[in-house]
Amino acid sequence: MNSVFNVSDFGKKFLWGVATAAVQNEGAYNIDGKGLSVWDTFSKRSGKIIGAAKPYEACDFYHRYKDDLLLVKALGFKVFRFSIAWSRILPEGIGKTNKEGIAFYHKVIDECLQLGLIPFVTLYHWDLPQALEKEGGWTSHSMLRWFSRFATVCAEEYGDKVKNWIILNEPMGFTSLGYGLGKHAPGKTGLNNFFPAVHNAALAQAEGGRIIRNIVEHANIGTTFSCSEIIPFTQSEKDIAAANRMDILLNRLFIEPSLGMGYPYGNFQLMDKLHLYNKAWKYTERMKFDFDFVGIQNYFSLTVKHNPIIPIINASEVKAVTRNAPHTDMGWEINAASFYRMLKRFAAYDGVKKIIVSENGAYFKDILQNGVVNDAQRIQYFQDYLQAMLQAKQEGVNINGYFVWTLTDNFEWAEGYRARFGLIHVDFKTQLRTIKSSGYWWRNFLNRK
């Protein structure tokens, strides 16, 4: 397959990278002083993870980071995005730091720098210390104090070597799935959990930005938002209203407060309740922070219809497979044109200076045969999405980077080890790495002049 563009079309300073996360990659969940995270606990007791999978070993990045970073380099990427496990740095969430945990990330960062890779550090990628969850987690009034302590330790430890920081990974993801629907750790449900988790996350992403700004010289600071174009199933008034409600939750809930716009409204009773609920909270003006970049994470578009049976939101998805729309093996619709429109839309916000596509990728049912994974569908996916991104960039959207999700197959949250997104196949019994055809495609693309 030949793309109709070259890497040079994106510019010499464009950042090409891969993204990973601590829980999904590191393993070593209880050694060298690390405390338990909510995912360590949730995976043990929940029964909600496919195959009863646990992140205890994952890809064993903790012991294999040198080899994996060599693979990043060999594939031609310039950026390695990874997260810091809060409970590896502060086993109890606050209090005493863990020297072994701090030393581990110094080693990862130093290895990146030695290889000529740019480390992009995500402060929080869904792995709250279990010790803090026992005290209420993201629903607690103490959350901002806890998060500030963690952010300060990381900034002071690594700020002389790391200049690129991402505060939160997809706050809508961990607040809705973890504190509203109960599908992810810590498994809480209901608006009484969702509302305070949302507000604390909105405050934390801004406060984390201020902490990094105050401590790290010449820092490049962003945060990431998941986004999906919401398409009404029909042009009926009810379907359009349902799409609008879904759009508020999935696309507007966190970026608009960060830009000083406050929480969105939009003829949606749930948001009226959120506004009323948060009148009792102080410092709502502190949800704003002047980020240097916004991370956009797009995997699919959503087609929705009015559904009065679904509580609160009164909307439900019309799945891609039922509409005969192209989709990944997660059932997510493949829609590069939608990706293009979301890039244009987020760039149109006043206050968004530049965009980095901080995650994008696809799960297909990869088959390892005779030492080869021929994932042609994934290659086509990347070609289509990169073409859409290039179009947006050529039309004036200030896009400065693109990070593939992900380097290696890993622990994919509630999907366990079933959903393989990696450019590199992992045999989870032996930890053997095998570069997929898509990995070789990226190597050729990034090295082609």
Nearest one of 168, 170, 164, 173 to 80, comparing CA atoms: 164
Task: Give the tokens for residue 82.
Answer: 């990874």
In the set 133, 157, 229, 359, the catalytic residue is 359
Task: Give the tokens for residue 160.
Answer: 């002389």
Print burial letters for 156-166: b (CB count within 10 Å at least 16), e (below 16): ebbbeebbbbb
Q: Which residues contact 122 (CB under 8 A, 6 or more apart)?
A: 21, 81, 82, 83, 84, 166, 167, 168, 169, 224
Q: Beta-carbon neighbour count of residue 47 at 10 Å? A: 7
Q: Kindly report the CA angle at 448 between 446 and 449, in degrees rounded to 5? A: 115
Nearest one of 16, 6, 148, 35 to 423, comparing CA atoms: 16
Instruction: Identify the helix (H) or strand (E) that includes residue 199.
Output: helix 191-215
Report whether 212 contacts 155 (CB < 8 A): yes
C-alpha 336/C-alpha 440 separation (Å) is 22
* Active-site residue flag, 412: no
In the set 26, 133, 170, 256, the catalytic residue is 170
Nearest one of 331, 307, 330, 199 to 246, comparing CA atoms: 307
Nearest one of 168, 259, 162, 169 to 219, comparing CA atoms: 162
* Active-site residue flag, 359: yes
Q: Beta-carbon neighbour count of residue 391 at 10 Å? A: 17
C-alpha 195/C-alpha 358 separation (Å) is 26
- Omega prior to 406 cis, within 30 of 0: yes
What is each CA distance from 179 to 140, 175, 224, 246, 416, in whole angstroms?
Answer: 12, 5, 19, 17, 20
User: What size, in residues, is the chain?
Assistant: 449
Strand spans (E) along 73-117: 79-83
Q: Beta-carbon neighbour count of residue 144 at 10 Å? A: 19
Task: Give the tokens for residue 251.
Answer: 């696309």
Report whether 243 contacts 230 (CB < 8 A): yes
Strand spans (E) along 136-244: 164-168, 220-227, 230-232
Task: Give the tokens for residue 210.
Answer: 């201020």
Catalytic residues: 170, 359
